[in-house]
């Protein structure tokens, strides 16, 4: 069975790809994209068993962490693979951007699960500057109130923006074939799902499955949403209620031209250019060496080190949003601290759960090994008892035969003694004995 593992990166068209794959292949036939019940059709639940430690190590970002913890349900990847084999699936499609957070140690565990299969690893990757701002906007949609520069520890981790991270990820993810598809985000690449399907050797059945781009930018109004999050007026736009509050406020308080306050907190970090240069060098070298298959249909690599923000962010920097002052700073601080405390508590509990799962997993393996040894010992004892019983049965049979022979001999002797010839020769035998 073939397995195609689309491992992110975050904010590289993954939601659109997942939606198209779900529409085309969610019914298990020769090609299967499993439905795990996620509203966005992602398989992040399959990645949780390999990325639990990564989640625990992430910095506090308020209830962003809460949303992420509660939105994914842990599902064993091995279970999905076994189900695919039982259904006769020939090509299993897995797509989870959370896989881009695995460490080399965790990749070893992932390799054990995928061992023996023909695995293609696919990464969709966007330019570093666009990746930076797109993920920041995504976190704001989940409730983040920090400006990009202040949220940089979180962004660096989830954007794979450490200088050697992209290369580490590509080199350690287990696969017999590794494909990197460079994605254009400004303007959006509407043919991305079909292009990715072609790289994996699958054809989307009709144009109907090419759904409109999913989880797209909310544009320059992202700063309004961030400010509303900061003032505790909304918690992102991840629920119908929060979307309604955001839209209502945006319509009632339109932006005006101006200069965004604290503009220096919206730039990219100084070392992002270093990361971009390192990524560019790695991608070109890996493609030349044949380590990866590199596809860049829009020549994005030519602009890889350009730190210019995407158009929506450039526009946001030139707008001001009037905000009401119906919440005090004290209220904001208390609400935000409460969310951080809750996120910290959830992180600690998830860490404890991961540790318990690891401990229980080790104990289970020991118990299974002990049980197997006991079963083997029992089988040996049963076999030994059967051999002993067979030997005893053979001895009893020989004893019966010997007893029968002895009885026959005694009868023959007695018969001889009683015979006439025995009596006649008795004097002669006595003389010989003398």
Q: Residue 309 above 80 pLDDT?
A: yes
Q: Residue 276 above 70 pLDDT?
A: yes
Name the band, by pLDDT with cuts 50, 70 and 90, for residue 286: very high
Range with the lowest mean pLDDT among 29-43, 134-148, 311-325?
311-325
Residues 76-106: pLDDT tens digits?
899 999 999 999 999 999 999 989 888 888 8
**How deeply is 337 buried, as exposed, middle or buried, from its count of CB atoms within 10 A (0-12, 13-18, 19+)?**
exposed
Helices 192-199 and 14-25 meet at what angle, rounded to 10?
A: 70
Q: Is the Cβ–Cβ distance between 260 and 318 less than 8 Å? A: yes
Token couple for 357: 């799962």
- DSSP H stretches of helix in 115-270: 128-141, 152-158, 165-172, 192-199, 222-230, 240-252
By DSSP bridging, strand 319-320 and strand 256-257 are antiparallel
Token couple for 62: 């308020």
pLDDT: which is higher, 144 or 137:
137
Q: Give me the sign of the Cα torsion angle 410, 411, 417, 421.
A: negative
CA nearest neighbour of 200 among 123, 127, 133: 123
Name the band, by pLDDT with cuts 50, 70 and 90, for residue 55: very low
Question: What pLDDT sits at residue 64?
Answer: 47
Question: What pLDDT sits at residue 36?
Answer: 92
| Cα–Cα distance, 87 to 187 (Å, whole number) | 40
Question: What pLDDT sits at residue 187?
Answer: 86
| Cα–Cα distance, 426 to 200 (Å, whole number) | 109
Token couple for 164: 């050697």
Q: Residue 150 above 90 pLDDT?
A: no
Question: What pLDDT sits at residue 230?
Answer: 80
Mean pLDDT calculated for residue range 8-16: 91
Mean pLDDT calculated for residue range 320-327: 65
List 124's β-bridge partners, or say none. Answer: 181
- DSSP H stretches of helix in 34-127: 44-57, 63-71, 77-86, 104-114
pLDDT: which is higher, 428 or 380:
380
| Tokens 């910290």 belong to residue | 344
Domains of the chain, with CATH numbers? 2-215+265-305 (3.40.50.300)
Token couple for 43: 């398989």
Question: What pLDDT sits at residue 131?
Answer: 94
Question: What pLDDT sits at residue 79?
Answer: 93
Q: Residue 122 above 90 pLDDT?
A: yes
| Residues above pLDDT 90, as percent of the chain | 38
Question: What pLDDT sits at residue 195?
Answer: 94
pLDDT: which is higher, 403 or 208:
403
| Residues above pLDDT 70, as percent of the chain | 82
CA 256 to chain centroid: 44
Question: What pLDDT sits at residue 301?
Answer: 97
103: three-class secondary structure by DSSP: coil
Residues 348-397: pLDDT tens digits?
776 777 778 778 877 878 888 888 888 888 888 888 888 888 888 888 88
Question: What pLDDT sits at residue 238?
Answer: 73
Q: Residue 277 above 90 pLDDT?
A: yes
Token couple for 406: 């002895």
Q: In 10 A of CB 411, how many CB atoms?
A: 10
Mean pLDDT calculated for residue range 133-162: 87
Question: What pLDDT sits at residue 342?
Answer: 61
């Amino acid at each position: 069975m073939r397995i195609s593992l689309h491992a992110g990166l975050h904010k590289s068209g993954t939601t659109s790809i997942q939606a198209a794959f779900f529409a085309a292949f969610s019914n298990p036939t020769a090609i299967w994209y499993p439905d795990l019940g996620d509203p966005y059709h992602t398989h992040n639940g399959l990645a949780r068993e390999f990325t639990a430690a990564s989640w625990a190590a992430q910095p506090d970002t308020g209830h962003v962490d809460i949303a992420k913890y509660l939105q994914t349900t842990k599902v064993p990847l091995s279970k999905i693979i076994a189900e695919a084999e039982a259904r006769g699936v020939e090509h299993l499609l897995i797509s989870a951007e959370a896989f881009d957070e695995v460490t080399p140690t965790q990749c070893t565990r992932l390799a054990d699960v995928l061992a023996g299969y023909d695995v293609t690893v696919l990464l969709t990757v966007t330019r570093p500057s666009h990746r930076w701002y797109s993920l920041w906007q995504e976190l704001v949609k989940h409730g983040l109130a920090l400006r990009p520069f202040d949220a940089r520890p979180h962004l660096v981790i989830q954007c794979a923006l450490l200088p050697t991270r992209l290369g580490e990820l590509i080199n350690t993810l287990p696969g017999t074939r590794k494909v990197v598809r460079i994605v254009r985000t400004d303007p959006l690449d509407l043919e991305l799902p079909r292009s990715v399907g072609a790289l994996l050797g699958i054809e989307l059945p009709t144009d109907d499955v090419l759904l409109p781009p999913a989880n797209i930018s909310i544009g320059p109004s992202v700063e309004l949403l961030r400010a509303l999050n900061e003032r505790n007026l909304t918690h992102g736009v991840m629920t119908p209620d929060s979307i309604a509050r955001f839209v209502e406020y945006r319509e009632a308080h339109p932006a005006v031209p101006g200069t965004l306050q604290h503009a220096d907190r919206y730039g990219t970090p100084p070392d992002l250019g270093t990361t971009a240069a390192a990524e560019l060098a790695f991608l070109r070298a890996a493609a030349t060496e044949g380590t990866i298959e590199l596809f860049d249909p829009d020549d994005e690599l030519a602009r890889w080190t350009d730190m210019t923000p995407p158009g929506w962010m450039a526009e946001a920097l030139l707008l001001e949003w009037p905000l009401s002052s119906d919440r005090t700073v004290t209220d904001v601080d208390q609400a935000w601290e409460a969310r951080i405390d809750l996120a910290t508590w959830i992180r600690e509990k998830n860490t404890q759960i991961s540790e318990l799962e690891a401990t229980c997993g080790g104990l289970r393996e020991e118990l299974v090994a002990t049980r197997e040894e006991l079963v083997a010992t029992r089988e040996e004892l049963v076999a030994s008892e059967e051999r002993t019983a067979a030997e005893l049965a053979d001895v009893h049979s020989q004893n019966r035969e010997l007893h029968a022979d002895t009885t026959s001999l005694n009868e023959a002797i007695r018969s001889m003694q009683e015979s006439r010839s025995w009596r006649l020769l008795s004097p002669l035998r006595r003389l010989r004995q003398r």
